[in-house]
Structure 1
């Protein structure tokens, strides 16, 4: 049945936005004639429970996130358009400690309303679909959350039990679509009826990502296959326009069954007028998608249809502006523009907010926000050894070790039952807080004992997502050669030679866990900091072994890493996107938190799987934070001596090679 909606009634917050500033109408609203109307489709995606502009891991405000900030855009954006509707594209339920607090601590009783739903209800959403993260806490929990919404959820490719012989016969978990029966005002001020079909999709890979919750309960159908079946039915029921709420990324323009990132082939399905995408945590239209087949970045089209991707965590509001024209009793799109409008801008390496939070949205979730703060400040596990990064650049390090332990634990679970299950798993992790420009206090330090969720920010600074790649032994060798570029070449017999190249970023110093190796500092670096070969015959990586035997260059390994590295960050040789075999639905921070909760007590002691090759009569010096003095004597695999004071508040240490 069509769902009535009054587009004008949903201008809930417009007065607050318009009171202090003159709102300019979109050109479509300004020039629409009789029987023409401007319809604006506003969208959010990948909110991941970020209601407040607050980073719970770091336990401090963050101006780059939060639906309360995005809501301020809603106020003004509605005022720019004669007719506007707000939709969400999924992944709202999990992804920060507030989501985990509700799921694991407070729980959801019948009748409870989840804080992110409370916030969304304030804004008057017309519809949402399901992202892959909605399934993370189980189907029962998800259903309780959805029940608290004042708007419907749709999903056309998740069926109860087994899939039917054809898509329209599937017993779907949710309705595949909803038809919104709206009133739109044309350029002459006349009101007309508009039937707007909204259909939703989620990545079919949820069956792998949340196998423990979903296996035996649901099955997923290919996104494009489901669209080809259901879109004609939406049209048959009288929809004037069809908009796809597609929690799927922008990937290849060549269709393949069960694609995770199927936005381009989906948009090409006949009968779809516009597409809202997400999942990839990027923004479209935007320069990140230059050169993709099937896209027109300048026009903001996907397979020729207007499309948008609104970043993540509330960072952008997605806008699809449609000029529609009534002809023969039906509406059709005659022109369109798209935009991903940000809530902040980067100025001199800082986030500068472009809007302030909407108080009504924050108040809706205030109590849950305060409870989450208490949750992240409370211990969730214990560490049996200190976690610090003072010596992460000169020896195997506990702060890097715990990241590798967690990544290996996670990837092993995620690949269980796949074609790559059983392959040896390595893990690549780098120290993020390692002094440098951050100063002598810019180091990870968590004492032995209780560890809280917010401590994870100290271990893993960036909101990266986990990846797994299939690589060879030869790739491992070159990966390590690139990492070893952080060290200066040292002449044998040198006294107190500077060890660290300050121009090489610490986040590109990957330690690969699961193999053992030495770094020969007498050799020059093979690669420069940008990944260019500068000494093709150099070989710093020596005694490279796997399980006690020399590493076979032809051997195959799975390596756990992050989206930055797997996507080409750092320009590591041989690390190319075609080697990615698993794109995780989780951030590396979330992986570490889950690992700590699962283990209860973690043992982050480094296993000293790498060291420097001996060089008789040679010493090197490096600077680190003075806070490292209490740990210097316990570093595995290397003898570290105090060498006095360094520059700018750093302490200096010596290593005898």
Structure 2
């Protein structure tokens, strides 16, 4: 079987060596006096097993990803820094086919080293925390992976068992809540001094929803900010000079208990000096994300005045916080700070150009795992009579979503055939996972007719979710669709070229429900906001909702096949939560798709156009998709689409006549 070489090219070698050879001295290094020291703390986050610059779904190299590339930036900082540390912010264990290959085929025996940990061990991390995806393969698997690391993990809000103590300090924690690392600093005059660096970690409390199958009865979680407020004083009491937070939690200035994205509020905890964030797959500081939020300085890189960084995803950036420390008696304090997120690539003239080359140690050490993963993803499992693509998944019924629903419906009907639910009609809810967005203009499913390999199935369903079924009423089906329809902006009838897609609405929450037919009236305001809050209680975008050719009965009962994320309340869909679950299946949605294809031999995923837009005379809207969409525009049913020029960042613009 052919393999793809990741040997470093002359061009990438030159760009990589340039990054290390041409070093600009940071102002703190130049300014540091005899009683001052410059400490550089680097971050990686949301690596998702993307250790190499290779897209296993597309089976081709990709310059936008790879810890082996981020490692070159790390090496450059270390070469010129007097004092440097490296931390990881979690979500390293799951997210691409190499992770699935290890979890589902190779396995992890006691003493095995996971490939992502093997790479991280080479880089010499000082500490890491856990992200939500560390739990996707179960606690036992995670434990074996963590055991192979030569650096510590901290997490202060993951509690063993099912009960929380009266206060966070008395919780029986799964990992150490924090570490105090004793380091040696060289000051501006070259003298060496000891420093104690406290490092505390946090995971989103929502893991109890997203991975309840693996976690319920074994662990529970506590609010991030509550936990920080309890532990940070103790870290200070134990002598930490500075305290940094590894917060696998994004940036949100809203308030509430058990916040998923709590890093803004973590920064407000007294005693924390710097916050390393992640989870959202965004970049901070920068000119694009988190603009206009009170207390968030996207130019200086501060949250409530504290330095913070979020380093993208898949190794796309290295986060860097520079601290100017001043010795105050026998302790250190932060007197100034800067923050930045350094990219491994840039986009020029619609193309991704690598800014650095690989750390060849990582490429060489993971050669066997890379080749094994290639063999794993290239294995055929069946055929498709029609192409599978997601270029129009947000604006029309789509083959990449259709095949997921076909497989889920087939699977759930079989499991329920002898149950009390056997006579209820089975619907299926599925959303597009690869639909451009932050992933770029090439981030779409595109599988030609013919053989389907495992890599294609992973491409259709990115995450190792498990199948679940919920029992709901016709009225609740409508509300589910009303929530999904929030992805569309409200448009004005009779007006041309209005933007259709709300960029703040995650594409993975745009569920299409198969088994019913319906239309979406985008002239009406959305009923729900992207987080599930009611915006316009009287609005009704979903019209002509039909089952079996007749208007759906609001009181009728239905089974809906979905995944553990949605059934557990993920996305905050109205009334969709664990109370509606009637089946927690043992299989992942991906495995169900593979088994469906194997059984069918040849599948026909052609979209059946079960949903469309309400016609609005004289009205056109615009949306952006990948440039390869032009090859499939003639196959889209029920929607009139035409090319409308170039979009931004390599995307193509299209017009829909409503």
Distance 1:190 1:133 in 2: 43
Listed as ranges, the matches of 1:205-224 within 5 Å are 205-224=206-225
| Contact 2:480–2:573 (CA under 8 A) maintained in structure 1 | no
Q: Distance in 2 between matches of 1:342 and 1:555?
A: 53
CA deviation after TM superposition for structure 1 residue 265, in Å: 1.1
Cα distance in 1 for partners of 2:19, 2:612 equals 65
**Which residue number corresponds to residue 323 of structure 2?**
322
Matched, 1:75 2:75: yes
Q: What secondary structure sits across from 1:103 in the alignment?
A: helix
> Would the alpha carbon gap of residues 136 and 351 (structure 1) be closer, same or farther in structure 2, given more than 3 Å must change?
same
The alpha-carbon distance between structure 1 residues 516 and 110, as it changes in their structure 2 partners (threshold 3 A), is closer
Q: How does 1:430-579 map to 2 (within 5 A)?
A: 444-447=447-450, 451-456=452-457, 459=460, 476=482, 479=485, 512-514=512-514, 516-517=516-517, 543-546=544-547, 548-550=549-551
Distance 1:208 1:145 in 2: 23
SS of 1:318's equivalent?
A: strand
Matched position secondary structure for 2:340: strand
Q: Distance in 2 between matches of 1:189 and 1:54?
A: 42
Whole-angstrom distance in 2 between the partners of 1:95 and 1:478: 24
* Whole-Å separation in 2 of the counterparts to 1:183 and 1:612: 64
**Which residue is equivalent to 1:108?**
108
Cα distance in 2, alignment partners of residues 152 and 478 from structure 1: 41
Matches for 1:363-382 after TM superposition, within 5 Å: 363-379=364-380, 381-382=381-382
- Kept in 1: contact 2:20–2:75 (CA 8 A): no
Give, in angstroms, the shift of residue 220 of structure 1. Answer: 1.1
Deviates more, 1:359-368 or 1:598-607: 598-607
CA distance in 2, matches of 1:304, 1:591: 43
Matches within 5 A, 1:240-255: 240-254=241-255
Task: Determine the C-alpha separation between the residues in 1 that align with 2:361 and 2:326.
Answer: 36
Question: Partners in 2 of 1:45 and 1:125 — Cα distance?
Answer: 12
Aligned to 2:264: 264
Per-residue Cα deviation, 1:222-279 (whole angstroms, up to 9, x for no partner) = 111211121111111111000001111111342x221111101111111111110000
Q: Is the 8 A contact 1:18 1:79 kept in 2?
A: no
Shift of 1:357: 0.6
In the alignment, is residue 355 of structure 1 matched against residue 352 of structure 2?
no
Any idea what SS the aligned residue of 2:205 has? coil
Q: Does structure 1 residue 42 correspond to structure 2 residue 39?
A: no
Alignment of 1:174-185 (within 5 A): 174-185=175-186
Mapped partners of 1:51, 1:478: distance in 2: 34
Distance 1:111 1:519, change over 3 A: closer
Contact 2:307 2:337 in 1 (8 A): yes
Aligned with 1:593 (options 590, 594, 599): 590
Secondary structure in 2 matching 1:51? coil
Does the CA-based 8 Å contact 1:426-1:557 persist in structure 2? no
Partner of 2:580: none
Q: Does 1:189 align with 2:186?
A: no
Point out where structure 1 has 5 or more consecutive residues left out of the alignment: 1-15, 413-421, 490-500, 528-538, 563-576, 584-589, 614-622, 639-657
- TM-score, with structure 2 as normaliser: 0.70
CA offset digits 1:322-372 (Å, max 9, x no partner): 000001211000000000110001112211110001101212222111111
Instruction: Tell me, yes or no, if the aligned pair for 1:135 and 1:210 is still in contact at 8 Å.
Output: yes
Contact 1:90 1:130 in 2 (8 A): yes
CA pair 248-624 structure 1, distance change in 2 beyond 3 A: closer
Deviation at 1:121, TM superposition (A): 0.8
Change (3 A) 1:430 1:242: closer
What corresponds to 1:149 in structure 2? Answer: 149
Runs (5+) with no aligned partner, structure 2: 1-15, 414-424, 471-475, 525-539, 564-570, 578-586, 614-627, 639-658
How big is each residue's C-alpha offset from its partner over 1:540-583, in whole Å with a ceiling of 9 and x where there is no partner?
99844246443689999999999xxxxxxxxxxxxxx9979999
Give the C-alpha shift of residue 514 in structure 1.
3.4
Cα 1:405–1:238 change in 2 (3 A) is farther
Q: 3-state DSSP class of the match of 1:141?
A: helix
Q: Per the alignment, do residues 214 and 612 of structure 1 end up closer, same or farther by CA in structure 2, a change over 3 Å counting?
A: closer
Larger radius of gyration: 1
Distance 1:127 1:23 in 2: 26
Q: Could you tell me which residue of structure 2 aligns to residue 494 of structure 1?
A: none
Deviation of 1:83 after TM superposition, in Å, equals: 0.7
SS in structure 1 at match of 2:173: coil
Residue 331 of structure 1 is matched in structure 2 by 332
Q: Call closer, same or farther: CA 1:175–1:607 in 2, change over 3 Å.
A: same
Distance 1:173 1:556 in 2: 41
Distance change (3 Å), C-alpha of 1:409 and 1:175: farther
* TM-aligned CA distance change 1:601 to 1:231, over 3 Å: farther
Q: SS state of the match for residue 289, structure 2?
A: helix
1:163-192 deviation digits (Å, cap 9, x = unpaired): 222211122111111111000011111100
1:399-431 C-alpha deviation (Å, 9 max, x unpaired): 44024457999999xxxxxxxxx9987445599
Shift in Å, 1:80:
3.5
**Partners of 1:612 and 1:206 in 2: how far apart?**
35
CA contact (8 A) 2:346 2:355 kept: yes
